[in-house]
Amino acid sequence: MYVATKGGERAIDAAHDWLAEERRGDPAVPELTIAQIREQMRLAVNRVMAEGSLYDPDLAALAIKQARGDLIEAIFLVRAYRTTLPRFGSSHPVETCDMAITRRISATFKDVPGGQVLGPTFDYTHRLLDFKLMADGEAPTAARKPADPEPAPHILALLDRDGLMEPLAHDGATPRDLTREPLELPADRPLRLQALTRGDEGFLLSLAYSTQRGYGRTHAFVGELRIGTCAVEMEIPELGFAVEIGEIELTECETVNQFTGSKTEPPQFTRGYGLVMGQSERKAISMSLVERALRWEELGEENTGAPAQDTEFVLYHSDNIQATGFLEHIKLPHYVDFQSELELIRKLRRAVAPERLEAAE
Amino acid sequence: MTEHAYNFAYLDEATKQMIRRAILKGLAIPGYQVPFASREMPMPYGWGTGGVQVTAACLTPSDTLKVIDQGADDATNAVSIRKFFERTARVATTTATAEASVIQTRHRIPEERLSEGQILVYQVPIPEPLRFLEPRESETRRMHALEEYGLMHVKLYEDIARHGEIATSYAYPVKVEERYVMDPSPIPKFDNPKLSGMAAIQLFGAGREQRIYALPPYTEVVSLDFEDHPFEPMKADHDCDLCGAGESYLDELITDDAGGRMFVCSDTDFCAARRAGGHRGRLVPEGDAA
Amino acid sequence: MTAHDPHIGAMTAAIDMPLLSVGGLTKTYGSGRGCANVSFDLWPGEVLGIVGESGSGKSTLLGCLAGHIRPDAGRVVYDLDGHARDTVSMAEPDRRRLSRTEWTFVHQNPRDGLRMGVSAGGNVGERLMAVGARNYGAIRETATDWLERVEIAADRIDDRPRAFSGGMQQRLQIARNLVTGPRLVFMDEPTGGLDVSVQARLLDLLRGLVRDMGLSVIIVTHDLAVVRLLADRLMVMKDGRVIEEGLTDQVLDDPQAAYTQLLVSSVLQV
């Protein structure tokens, strides 16, 4: 006698309890604190903030803890939280030229006003496992020097002054807001940049890499990569002027791209732009390469059919929360549709002559 | 985080207004896919976020909600979504189709005829019926705008040429009021006839794809076909083994490893109500009360 | 959708009205390429050849005429049931409807004009279904008939064009385009990329269809042999401008412009 499967609710509750237990791991091992994650897993925190589109290191650290270190799951938690927050207004655009710099490099000029600052980077480390960290994670104190009073203007602005850079188009219009309006095509540059900055790091890395290997090649030089903190200012209607409401860490990458001109544009350097919350260097560089590749149409370049040139393809597939949800939804029951397919296959097979079925078997 | 930290039915009022505007536009242009700024929900995309947002925008505190997945009230995802609204909206819930004012569904239309005043909310994974013929959104929107639907029939033509009949068994495309071609969501084509002339409001939400579309009450919905190969609803050629219903959509269950199987109503509420009313199927012994 | 029988349309059209009247058509690109100030009339049943080297602007011109490219200036007036309609200023839905019913476009590469993943029958049937045909048997019958008219065996109806030779693909494209009985056909190098013997067979077929159906045709090609066989009248283009026009035999046998003389002599040398 068949008894209908009941107890979906009990199964869910039990699964949640089990999950919580697994997250905690061996209770004999001390529990991670949010502060530990925030301070010692900072790059993971940065990625969760960047792709979660919410600058809050503590909440990002909490999400990482709750997600057992699954960063896409953590990003999802942050996004779902972010969407419930009321919006009080928008800040002024951040002035990245006034950034308090912790790292600044240029691959195009050896020396630049404001200097190159290597900063805390993996770049020239030898990738050898440091077994000392297994026993003792204490770090030596790094040498310090006073902050450089010399301003560090954007390097592309210097090229700009010489008229070698494409002029920046600025129509003063308020960009569309991807978090408030559906993505609709054609997508202009501000919309593309919004989508890319919250896009999946791995996806953008692969696309950027594909442009370097010839699928939509853009001949990019890193004109400048800078990391540091910027003040966020907001106009308070009651006050009538802008006040600083906090500061955020940003990574900005501007590429200089060779460009020999097209039927609409003279030969000049063009730019690709990447701006990402936190120290997210790989993502910022990837973003600037993909961003530049997507600009082929406005620059009158040839569409070579490369994936990185296809705005619809890139924008519709860069969001890892959309992607992972849809991918994983195929775990849900599809009994009804499958039953339909079963009936159809049986019907089609009945229509086929029996000898053909035998021959196939 | 407690549920009290969130607004009624989770979404903030401004978001609900935005969704309601999209729903109203959808009702005004039956079958047209209205873009809307879908929010991240606390469940993954593809798991009913579109339906959940539409339901959230429709719910009032006095509503009674029913949630089904594959026709069943007790499927895990249906349970999860029902719980979500119990927590965030504290509305009454039910499994009885007739008692619900809002029904959120995945992949089925209830067997029981719905009535005026009810709202049926469908979860939609891919709202675009032309998607697998033309992958570009910019192009498919143009095709809808210009009513260029020849390609849709090419697909049906190809099915018949190859298989002798239209080989689409679910998410079977329909034409709404002789204008828009619409994807009815992945319901089995058995359910398609129920779409047309339904007394209840039908709303379709696709969260990831950021689209809402709608059928107002008593809308004419026609399943695409050819004159000489008319649309045919399809179900397993059995009666329900539990309640004996001959006209309901059936799930096939494998009961042993020797080819034993049974067929039961996929609509659990319909089946239970019939059994409560004394109907008996093949596998229910006489005198055994349900 | 307004169903339109092309044959009735052709009969009711005033005889002193050209089917297509083009005036001052201009489309330039930054590089200086394009076409400038092109004007001509095309009469019902007439075949007009447009010749010139690559870069002469003839493809741009064809694109503007067919509504694929938006011209910078000028008009393309079409006789729609006795009503003169400027297709340049026409709304997009009307233009698309026109290109589903009255007009058709034969691409140089059959891949651009066919659905390679759809059977031959589906390819031919698509235009019928696009204008409302809903009887599978009738669609199939018409498709079979058209396959035979373009010399493709009826038993290939369920094969996909991938399995066809280049010449067969091109003939299939022609069947797909003509099945709804259009009045005006645009052709872009329809014999390009085919072997000479295959070309000859295709040209022969085209000539027969044009005559039988009373089609008006605008055909762009660099191949003078093609226009000699098909075209009543000829326009020679260079640097985006029409430099010579007249009856085909007249232009080819007694070219006036130096450039045309060069074109004609180079073909004779081949």
pLDDT in tens, B152-208: 999 999 999 988 888 888 999 999 999 999 999 999 999 999 999 999 999 999 999
> What percent of chain C has a predicted confidence (pLDDT) above 70?
92
Q: What is the mean pLDDT of chain B?
A: 92
Listed residue (A19, A45, A44, A21) closest to A31, CA to CA? A21
The reported pLDDT for the residue numbered B290 is 43
**A345 plus A303 within the same structural domain:** no
Q: Are residues A110 and A246 in the same domain?
A: yes
- Judged by average pLDDT, the poorest of A240-244, A319-323, C54-58, C232-236 is C54-58
Contact criterion met (CB below 8 Å) for C113 and C180: no
Segment C44-71 mean pLDDT: 91
- Predicted confidence band at C267 (pLDDT cuts at 50, 70, 90)? low
Furthest C-alpha separation in chain B: 61
Tell me: do A216 and A255 sit in the same domain.
yes
Pair A129, A263 in one domain = yes
For residue A232, count CB atoms less than 10 angstroms from its CB and return exposed for 0-12, middle for 13-18, buried for 19 or more: middle
Euclidean distance between CA atoms A121 and A274, whole angstroms? 18
Question: Chain C partners of B147 at a C-beta cutoff of 8 Å?
Answer: 1, 93
pLDDT (mean) for C34-54:
92
Decide which of A40, A58, A82 is a domain's last residue: A82
* Chain B nearest C-alpha distance from A77 (Å): 7
CB B7 within 8 A of CB B59: no
Same domain as A119, residue A35: no
- A199 and A65 in a single domain? The answer is no
Across the interface, whether the CB atoms of A336 and B170 are under 8 A apart is answered yes
| B271 part of the active site | yes
The one catalytic residue among B31, B48, B71, B207: B31
Asked if B228's CB is within 8 angstroms of C135's CB, the reply is yes
First to last CA, chain A: 34
Q: How far apart are CA B173 and CA B182, in angstroms?
A: 6
Q: Is B31 labeled as catalytic in the residue annotation? A: yes
Task: Give exposure, B28-45, as e/b (b: 16+ Cβ within 10 Å).
Answer: ebbbbbbbbbbbbbbbbb
Q: Cβ(A294)–Cβ(A255) under 8 Å?
A: no
Residue A143 falls inside a structural domain: no
In a domain, A184, yes or no: no
Among candidate residues A225, A293, A234, A297, the one with its CA nearest the CA of residue A265 = A297
Shared domain for A29 and A160, answered yes or no, is: no
Residue ranges of C 30-69 with Cβ closer than 8 A to chain A: 30-31
**Plot region of C30 (φ>0 → left; ψ -120 to 50 → alpha; else → beta):** alpha
**What pLDDT digit, counting tens, does each position of C80-117 carry?**
888 899 999 999 888 888 888 899 999 999 998 999 88
pLDDT per residue as tens, chain A (361 positions): 344 445 677 888 899 999 999 999 999 999 999 999 999 999 999 999 999 999 999 999 999 999 999 999 999 999 999 988 888 888 999 999 999 999 999 998 888 888 888 999 998 888 888 888 888 777 888 888 887 778 888 988 888 888 888 887 777 888 888 888 888 888 999 999 999 999 999 999 999 999 998 898 888 999 999 999 999 999 988 888 999 999 999 999 999 988 776 666 678 889 999 999 999 999 999 999 999 999 988 887 778 889 999 999 999 999 999 999 999 999 888 888 888 888 888 888 887 766 666 665 5
Asked if C136 and B226 come within 8 Å (Cβ–Cβ), the reply is: yes
Bridge partner residues of C73 (DSSP): C26
Please judge whether C139 and B148 are an interchain contact, meaning their C-beta atoms are less than 8 angstroms apart: no
In angstroms, the Cα distances linking A316 to A319, B134, B210 are 7, 15, 11
**Whether C127 contacts chain B with CB within 8 A:** yes
Residue C1 has pLDDT above 80, yes or no: no
Task: Say if A267 is an interface residue toward chain C (CB within 8 Å).
Answer: no
A4 vs B contacts (CB less than 8 Å) = 74, 264, 268
Q: Are residues A204 and A72 in the same domain?
A: no
Q: Determine which one of B26, B51, B205, B243 is catalytic.
A: B243
Q: Is residue A215 part of a domain?
A: yes
The rounded distance, in Å, linking the Cα atoms of A225 and A85 is 32
B-chain residues near C118 (CB < 8 A): 154, 158
For an interface test with B, give the residue of A54, A198, A311, A329 to mutate (most B CBs within 10 A): A329
Q: Got the DSSP string for chain C?
A: -----HHHHHHHS-TTS-SEEEEEEEEE-TTS-EEEEEEEEE-TT-EEEEE--TTSSHHHHHHHHHTSS--SEEEEEEEETTEEEETTTS-HHHHHHHHHHTEEEE-SSHHHHS-TTS-HHHHHHHHHHHTT---HHHHHHHHHHHHHHTT--GGGTTS-GGGS-HHHHHHHHHHHHHTT--SEEEEESTTTTS-HHHHHHHHHHHHHHHHHHT-EEEEEES-HHHHHHH-SEEEEEETTEEEEEEEHHHHHHS--SHHHHHHHHHHHH-
User: What domain count does chain A have?
Assistant: 3
C136 vs A: CB within 8 A: no
Show Cβ contacts of residue C234 under 8 Å, excluding neighbours closer than 6 positions. C48, C49, C50, C51, C227, C245, C246, C247, C248, C251, C252
pLDDT at C269 over 50: no
| Band (C11; pLDDT cuts 50, 70, 90) | very low
Q: What is the ipTM of this complex?
A: 0.83
Residue-range domains of chain B with CATH: 3-126+175-223 (3.40.50.11310), 235-282 (no CATH)
Measured in residues, chain B has a length of: 290
Q: Is residue A237 part of a domain?
A: yes
> Is A28 domain-assigned?
yes
Asked if residue A324 belongs to a domain, the reply is no
User: What average pLDDT score do residues B226-251 get?
Assistant: 93
- The CA distance from C42 to C26, in Å, is 18
Kindly determine whether residue A329 and residue B45, on different chains, have CB atoms separated by under 8 Å.
yes
Rounded to an integer, what is the distance from CA C144 to the centroid of its chain? Answer: 23
User: Chains with 3 or more CB pairs closer than 8 angstroms to A?
Assistant: B, C
**B58 catalytically annotated:** no
Cα-based distances in Å from C131 to A25, A42, B31, B230, C80: 65, 61, 21, 19, 17
Q: Are residues A342 and A313 in the same domain?
A: no
Looking at the structure, do residues A285 and A232 belong to the same domain, yes or no?
yes
pLDDT the model gives residue C32:
63
* A175 lies in some domain: no
Look up the domain containing A270 and give its range. Answer: 96-138+150-169+192-318
Asked whether residue A245 is assigned to any structural domain, the reply reads yes
Does A159 lie in the same domain as A127? yes
Distance from CA of B234 to the nearest CA of A (A): 8
CB proximity B234 to A under 8 Å? yes
CA distance B16 to chain A (A): 12
How far is the CA of A214 from the CAs of A259, A303, C101, in angstroms?
15, 13, 43
Residues A109 and A223 in one domain: yes
